[in-house]
Chain A
């Protein structure tokens, strides 16, 4: 197996992460320096479930590097609909593209796909599993706003199914970060993830209420609680309401608190927060491009570990 795939953030070292973030910062400061650097390079985009933003972010990154993308289109119109396996799909696209990005609803799909190809493969989300490029752009945003050392971060919302949360937690265990997980009991972090974080010696605490930790936080990372996780609409309303924030909530927070969200949001962050210095979520989304440029640049040069 090649070591220039990016399947999970679990095996990324602090050095790996910092190298990508440093490169992203260079690109951010001077995008022209890499414009056209990868001319002629083709990136294959295989999105087996819709994610317009992540897909457009990769597309923009590749094009800014001078390359181009090929796209299998929607699942409905592709051979997947006819029952082609993921293993076959990636083996075909490998013949067209210099690197492949896969988003697939099944856990472990990117890892499996990477075992069938010799070009770099990037996991853009495998079910409730991992989403390592989101994590890199999250870390970039955190570093810009609060720094990654001696960080106190609250991660709130659906921690059970949120792959961005799992990936971020693994990556943060490389740093001197105190991680506070805030969620209703039914949406707590999977025990597997807690087990791993403890194995890594990460500082992890779980809470049911934001109040318990808000004042001590440098960063609050909010995720959406999905309606479909609850059989009962009233139950959803009751629980989701407890994990929404507005200006009043943030009165108890530090003035320097950075609020993040992987987007799209629904009503978990009140729009009135958008115009405050707390809001970093649009900046976070924009950071996806330089971070993915940095990552693609390194992968295409064969220089990144898993």
Chain B
């Protein structure tokens, strides 16, 4: 497997060494952890929010924002040292970064690489934007959203959110 620069070299695309190599050196290599690549440009900070990373813990994180990419034109990259993602985190990630690839890095080598998949529903991570939804009240209920082709829908009040899904992420 390749090293963890995060080239656009999967799924039949030609690697675009010319600029990626160059730009991505700005984002340092990690030894053990996860590289989340092909995040849609501008979504990296939302990825951090999903992972609950706000800099207050001692996690070592590198972020590249609006890095040129042949697949997405502009992409973001997030590299987290010493951390592998839970399925729940990957599920929510898929909603704001549907093209993302998750690379698991061990001893500087990418040991596995896969695309995110959209789940059928996500539980407990998004807050319903409808102020009169029962899930926003002081009830012992976990938020639950069905995942639609082009958005998410609250399983309780049925509100559909298409564009601003990242705004619903619970700040943990």
Contact = CB atoms under 8 A, between A and B. Distances in A.
Contacts, number: 56
B133 A108 contact: yes
B58 interface: no
Interface in A76-131: 83, 85-87, 104-109, 111-112, 115, 126-129
Contacts of B155: 108, 111
A83 B137 CA distance: 11
B150 to A, nearest CB: 10
A128 B141 CA distance: 20
Contacts of A104: 134
B137 A106 contact: yes
Contacts of B133: 106-108
B135 A112 contact: yes
B132 A85 contact: no
Interface string B147-172: 00000011111111000000000000
A109 B137 CA distance: 10
Q: Among the interface residues B130, B135, B141, B160, which one has the most CB atoms of the partner chain A within 10 A?
A: B141
A109 B132 CA distance: 10
Contacts of A127: 132, 157
B135 A85 contact: no
Given A127-B132, A128-B132, A107 B157 contact: yes
Contacts of B160: 191-192, 195
A86 B130 contact: no
A83 B157 CA distance: 22
A202 to B, nearest CB: 16
B140 A87 contact: yes
Contacts of B153: 192
A86 B158 contact: no
Q: Among the interface residues B139, B140, B153, B154, which one has the most CB atoms of the partner chain A within 10 A?
A: B139
B87 interface: no
Contact of A129 (B137, B138, B140, B158): B158
Interface of B is mostly: loop
B139 A107 contact: no
A109 B156 CA distance: 8
Interface of A is mostly: mixed
Contact of A112 (B138, B156, B158, B159): B156
Contacts of B141: 87, 112, 115
A112 B132 contact: no
Contacts of A105: 132
Nearest to A195: B160
Contacts of B132: 105-107, 127-128
Contacts of B158: 107-108, 129, 192
A191 B130 CA distance: 14
Contacts of A109: 134
B156 A87 contact: no
A295 to B, nearest CB: 22
Contacts of A83: 138
B55 to A, nearest CB: 35
Interface string A121-164: 00000111100000000000000000000000000000000000
Contacts of A108: 133-135, 154-158
Q: Among the interface residues B134, B154, B155, which one has the most CB atoms of the partner chain A within 10 A?
A: B134
Interface string B118-144: 000000000000101111011111000
A274 B171 CA distance: 56
Nearest to B148: A195
A85 B130 CA distance: 19
A86 B159 contact: no
A8 to B, nearest CB: 9
B11 to A, nearest CB: 32
What are the nearest 6 A-B pairs in CB distance? Answer: A108-B156, A107-B157, A108-B157, A106-B134, A108-B134, A109-B134
Interface of B: 130, 132-135, 137-141, 153-160
23 contacts: A83-B138, A85-B138, A86-B137, A87-B140, A105-B132, A106-B132, A106-B134, A106-B137, A107-B130, A107-B132, A107-B133, A107-B134, A107-B158, A108-B134, A108-B154, A108-B157, A109-B134, A111-B156, A112-B135, A112-B139, A191-B160, A192-B160, A195-B160
Interface of A: 83, 85-87, 104-109, 111-112, 115, 126-129, 191-192, 195
